[in-house]
C-alpha cells in the first residue's frame, strides 16, 4: 500500500469529483493458470467459490483533462486448488483451501456512457493482502524415492502473495430515485495479471465475477 500512495503523490493532478458512491455485492472466484496447457508435467485442478465485496467510489472525477473513476474496496474470496508439477527426477504437489481478504485501489481511465443510463468502466486494480486463511498439504519427492509431507498451515506462516495487480471492469445501469441520487445495479469482473501465491503454485491467478448494487450521489 505504501508503494501505491507513493505513486499517487508523484503525479501532479488537478482533481474535481462530480459523484460519490457506495457499493457492495457477491463475487465468484475462479483460480486458473495456463501452465497445464503448455507443460505435460504440470497438472492443476481448481474449484470455484463465492465471496463478497464492499467499497466506495468516486465517479466522473475530472483529473486534469481526463474524466476517471476511482474505487477503494474490501473483498473476501475463496477457492480450492490441487496442483502438481514433476517428472521422474522429482516434483511437488499442493492441495489447499484458501480464503483471502484484500484491500484494493481501482483506477478507471476508460469510461463509456451508453444511452444515458448505461456506463462501462475499464481500468486496473492494485490490491494488498489484508489476511489469508489456508489449510491443506504439500508433498515433495525426488528420484531417490525420498518423499516429504507437510501440513501447510503448520509449515508456512503465509501462503498468499502480499500484492496483486490486475485488470478490472464494470457495467452498470442507473436508476434515478431523485435528481441527485440513483441506484446502480452492476456486473463487474477482475482478471488477475500477477501470481496469487507466495508458495507453490505461485503462477496461479484469479478471475472474479461480481454482481451487486450501489447508491450514487451527485455532488455538483
Give the pTM.
0.85
Q: C-alpha cell of 112?
A: 463509456
**153 lies in a domain?**
no
**134 lies in a domain?**
no
**92 lies in a domain?**
no
113-132 pLDDT per residue, tens: 998 899 999 999 999 999 99
**68 lies in a domain?**
yes
**106 lies in a domain?**
yes
Long-range contacts of 151-156 (CB under 8 A, 24+ apart): 152/94, 152/96, 152/199, 156/198, 156/199
Distance, CA of 34 to chain centre: 18
How many separate domains does the chain show? Answer: 1
| Residue-number span of the structural domain to which 213 is assigned | 17-80+101-129+161-218
Whichever domain contains 47, its CATH number is 2.40.160.20
- Give the pLDDT score at 37: 66
**190 lies in a domain?**
yes
11-29 pLDDT per residue, tens: 444 445 578 999 999 999 9
Amino acid at each position: 500500500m505504501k508503494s501505491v500512495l507513493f505513486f499517487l503523490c508523484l503525479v501532479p493532478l488537478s482533481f474535481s469529483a462530480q459523484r460519490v458512491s457506495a457499493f457492495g455485492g457477491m463475487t465468484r472466484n475462479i483460480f486458473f493458470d495456463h501452465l497445464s496447457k503448455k507443460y505435460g508435467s504440470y497438472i492443476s485442478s481448481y474449484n470455484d467459490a463465492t465471496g463478497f465485496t464492499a467499497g466506495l467510489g468516486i465517479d466522473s472525477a475530472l483529473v486534469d483533462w481526463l474524466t476517471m473513476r476511482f474505487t477503494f474496496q474490501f473483498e473476501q474470496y475463496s477457492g480450492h486448488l490441487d496442483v502438481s508439477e514433476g517428472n521422474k527426477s522429482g516434483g511437488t504437489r499442493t492441495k489447499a483451501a484458501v480464503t483471502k481478504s484484500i484491500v484494493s485501489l481501482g483506477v478507471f481511465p476508460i469510461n463509456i456512457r451508453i444511452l444515458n443510463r448505461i456506463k462501462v468502466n475499464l481500468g486496473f486494480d492494485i490490491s494488498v493482502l489484508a489476511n489469508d486463511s489456508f489449510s491443506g498439504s504439500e508433498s515433495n519427492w525426488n528420484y531417490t524415492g525420498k518423499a516429504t509431507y507437510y501440513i501447510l498451515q503448520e509449515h508456512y506462516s503465509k501462503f498468499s502473495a502480499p500484492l496483486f495487480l490486475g485488470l478490472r471492469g464494470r457495467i452498470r445501469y442507473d436508476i434515478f430515485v431523485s435528481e441527485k441520487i440513483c441506484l446502480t445495479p452492476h456486473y463487474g469482473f477482475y482478471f488477475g495479471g500477477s501470481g496469487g501465491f507466495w508458495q507453490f503454485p505461485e503462477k496461479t491467478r484469479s478471475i472474479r465475477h461480481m454482481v451487486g448494487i450501489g447508491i450514487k450521489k451527485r455532488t455538483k
